[in-house]
Amino acid sequence: MRLRNTLHFFIFAIIFLAACTNFNQDRMADSSFDSEQKKKMLSSAYLDSATSQLFAHHQQQYDTSYRNPYGFQERDIVLYPDSIYERRITSLHSLLPLVFNEQVKAYIELYAFRKRDLTERMLGKSALYYPHIEKLLRKHQLPLDLKLLTMIESALRPTAESSKSAAGLWQIRYNTGKWLGLTINDFIDERRDPYTSSIAGIAYLKKLYTLYGDWWLAIAAYNYGPNNLNKAIVRAGNVKDYWKVTPYLPRETRHYVPAFIAMVYLYHFQDEHNLRPQFPDVSFKSVDTVRIYDKIAFDEIVQYTGVSKKELAMLNPAIMQEIIPASQEGYRLVLPVSKIATFEKIRTDLFQANRWKEEVAMTARVIKGKKAIVPKAKHLIRITHTIQPGNTLDEISRHYGCTVQDLIDWNGLYDSMLQIGNELKVYIPQEQAFHLQASTISTDFSSNFLRSPAHSE
Average pLDDT over all residues of the chain: 83
CATH 2.60.120.260 fits 2-183+191-273, yes or no: no
Q: What are phi and psi of 381, to 5 degrees?
A: -125, 160
Residue of higher predicted confidence among 139 and 22: 139
pLDDT digits (tens, 9 = 90+) for 118-130: 999 999 999 889 9
Work out the pLDDT band at 438, boundaries 50, 70, 90: low
Q: Cα–Cα distance between 440 and 436 in angstroms, integer?
A: 8
Where are the chain's structural domains? 2-183+191-273, 287-363, 380-456
pTM for the predicted model, two decimal places: 0.69
The residue-averaged pLDDT of 410-414 equals: 88
Return the CATH number of the domain spanning residue range 380-456.
3.10.350.10
Of all residues in the chain, what percent carry a pLDDT higher than 70? 78
Q: What is the pLDDT of residues 217-243, one digit of tens each?
A: 999 999 999 999 999 999 999 999 999
Measured CA to CA, the distance from residue 325 to residue 185 in angstroms comes to 11
Q: Does the CA dihedral 390-395-400-405 come out positive or negative?
A: positive
User: Which of 255, 194, 205 has the alpha carbon at shortest distance from 95?
Assistant: 205
Residue 189 confidence class, pLDDT cut points 50, 70, 90: very high
Q: Does residue 383 or residue 45 have the better pLDDT?
A: 383
Closest by Cα among 172, 168, 175 to 154: 168
Residue predicted with more confidence, 343 or 457: 343
Q: For residue 57, is pLDDT > 70?
A: no
